[in-house]
Amino acid sequence: MTKDNGAARRGKPKLGQHFLRDTSAVTRIVEALGDISQSTVLEIGPGPGTLTGMLAKRSGRLIAIEVDRVLAAQLSMAYALVPNVEVIQADVLTVNFDTLFAPRPGTMRPGITRVLDKVRVVGNLPYYITSDILLHLFAFERHFDRVVIMVQREVADRLVAEPGHSEYGLLSATAQLYAHVEKLFELPPEAFSPPPKVHSAVIRLSMEPKAEELGVSAEAMVDFFKLAFSQKRKTLSNNLRVRYSEAVVKAALKETKIKASVRAEALSLDQMAALVRALAPVPALPGAGTPS
């Protein structure tokens, strides 16, 4: 079932303004968030409020961040008297979530440390900044437990791709370092107004940061992914040679039992982490190993 959306006719393509018309998709997206009755939900890019209405009714608290001044002002007015909804006019990429979700003055008793409830994120994203938004959310992953977003279909396929598949790359490895990723369903261009040139898909990320159990820092892993996937057609060994000497690369591959001819997209996260550890051994403590 679809509905026409007057605001869609004024959509700004530069801001990725393709508004969802398929009302059954709205329900499926909101339901993919699970029980949100006690949760804070962050909506990215509410636009004219396509998802906002159902989210406002079902969530404990809703924070909607919209960059377009006109749409944000219209939404603020529409929800001015709804106590659980807050509309913020901002570029989501500039939002510091530590500050946004910090306990408000007067809500904490001195001396008591409260474990803050995790936030669920939802949005029909502006596709031109999907990767940037994901990286921004990952940088603040401690605040989030579930993310349900609409992305371009090809991006969804890359996000869920497993090692060994041609779509597996930097985005897949990075997302899977932070979350369990599922592709839920696809939508054709006609589900939006105006229709985008591409097909879309809804994905769900259940946040499960893995760096600690892999014995590496997330920053070191992502930095390594950037190097390992820098030239997809080159072997892993050749990509690593941009930063490390031949001897260091050879020794690390030998230690981790990884073939020199392998390409980065064939490696599991475990193998990537083993390489990160082998390439950057923990420095020996001063005096350690020196006979006294």
Region near ligand SAM per CB under 6 A, out of 18-26, 208-216, 233-241, 270-278: 18-26
Specify the 3-state DSSP secondary structure of 99. Answer: helix
Query: How many angstroms separate the CA atoms of 45 and 16, rounded?
Result: 9
When asked if residue 82 is in the footprint of ligand SAM (CB under 6 A), the reply is no
Give the shortest CB-42-to-ligand SAM separation in angstroms. Answer: 11
Give the shortest CB-209-to-ligand SAM separation in angstroms. Answer: 24
Secondary structure (DSSP) of 63-92: EEEE--HHHHHHHHHHTTT-TTEEEEES-G
Q: Which helix (H) or strand (E) holds 240?
A: helix 236-240
* Position among 47, 144, 145, 204 found at the interface with ligand SAM (CB under 6 A): 47
Give the shortest CB-47-to-ligand SAM separation in angstroms. Answer: 3
Cβ-based nearer residue to ligand SAM, 94 or 290: 94
Give the shortest CB-122-to-ligand SAM separation in angstroms. Answer: 9
Q: Map the footprint of ligand SAM across residues 159-178, applying CB under 6 A.
A: none
> How many amino acids of this chain bind ligand SAM (CB under 6 A)?
23
Q: Map the footprint of ligand SAM across residues 183-242, applying CB under 6 A.
A: none
Specify the 3-state DSSP secondary structure of 169. Answer: coil
- The answer to whether 40 and 17 are in contact (CB under 8 A) is no
Region near ligand SAM per CB under 6 A, out of 121-129, 152-160, 243-251, 269-277: 121-129
When asked if residue 50 is in the footprint of ligand SAM (CB under 6 A), the reply is yes
Specify the 3-state DSSP secondary structure of 274. Answer: helix
**CA distances from residue 8 to 47, 71, 75, 77, 195 in whole angstroms, order as listed:** 9, 11, 14, 19, 10
